[in-house]
Amino acid sequence: MPNNFEMQSPLHVGIIMDGNGRWALARGLPRQAGHRAGVETVSRAVEAAPSLGIGALTLFAFSSDNWRRPQSEVGGLMALLAEYMERETPRAVENGIRLQALGRRDRLDAQLRAAIGRAEAATAGGARLWLRIAVDYSGRDASLAAARTLLDLSRESLDRALGPPVDLLIRTGGERRLSDFLLWESAYAELVFSRRMWPDFGADDLAGAVREFRGRERRFGAVPRTPAPAAAGWLD
């Protein structure tokens, strides 16, 4: 018997995974320890997503603006991403998860590019969850790049080029901004913010965000069916 989440239409959920560095520093740990803890949170979110009715999950792992960070931190992040791709590919194949990377690849190191290529090829047939990881990603640049490939530029063609619209956009870490993430796709996304740092964001928090989404009336510009108080958008 499907649960209440599975009975609904599959969702596209985007998550800005913020707060790894602050989580680590608050514990007297190096920032890299926070990024490693954040990778484990990714695994928990991916495991929980299908049972919550999530069909596509897009995670913001590394912004094009993050190249401004110290070289040691950037190198550590790239190594972690390559490690994640290598480690999770067999499990993704087993569980019907399709892995895909979004963003530029020409600036990634050879190890990460190779790991991404192997993961995408091995998991191409996954139909249970579409897991998209944004690396060296900018929503503005992605929109420009997609538009340049189209002979007939329209809303519909750009929709197809960029991917599915986002239903629910979550940001952890207490900040309330999009930070150049899935800008076109999030035109009508419901926004939910959590003060939890990403390493502390668990399956119950993801379920709570989906419940918050399910409780909202999505009007897409139409008149509301019933008046409702404005939601603050905070999950906790």
CA 84 to chain centroid: 15
Helices (H), 134-230: 139-148, 155-162, 203-214
Catalytic site residue 3?
no
Q: Name the phi and psi angles at 14, rounded to 5.
A: -110, 140
DSSP 68: G
Helix, strand, or coil here: 18? coil
Assign residue 76 a region (left: φ > 0; alpha: ψ between -120 and 50; beta: otherwise).
Answer: alpha
Tokens 């990377």 sit on residue: 101
Annotated catalytic residue: which of 66, 95, 109, 141? 66
Contact indicator for 79, 106 with CB cutoff of 8 Å: no
Note if 66 is an active site residue.
yes
Locate tokens 């992040």: which residue?
Answer: 77
Selecting among 4, 18, 109, 200, the annotated active-site residue is: 18
Instruction: Please give the positions annotated as active site.
Output: 18, 66
